[in-house]
Structure 1
Amino acid sequence: MSDLTTVPKAVSGPSSLIDGRLNAGNSLNRSLRRGYERGMEDQLGALGLGLNAIIFWNSLRVPTAADDDPEL
């Protein structure tokens, strides 16, 4: 019976080529994901800025509207 712990070079060569391609793909995936996450952060920042502007505008308008309404 042959020793199964030794791996012939013909088998280990293509797997290292495949591993290199996988590493390159994973690196590309990480860089794309980072850009996507940065874009989401920018969108959330813009949403927060817009929400703050609406709240500020309402804080200016509500006291004026309350002064104009005699029932309040």
Structure 2
Amino acid sequence: MAMHMTELFDTTIEQLYNIFTTKDLVQQFSISPAVLEAEKGGKFQIFDGNITGEYIESLTNKNIVMKWRCGNCQKVCY
């Protein structure tokens, strides 16, 4: 089963894009090491490996689609 979520953020598109694609910002947010390949088809790993995923679509400062998987559950979120 897949879960699809849409979130609204009170920030600029540029800031939000950077938060999800810049390793230092992701590590500040998660307070843990992160591995990022912030490009279409690239993988990511955050929260000490408890969250893994893939960048499905990435248009700089315009659009980002990510697939997330929780390490201790079977749900995948887009």
Taking structure 1 as the reference length, the TM-score comes to 0.21
Larger-gyration structure (1/2) = 1
Structure with higher helix content: 1
- Larger RCO (CA under 8 A, 6+ residues apart): 2
Higher strand share: 2
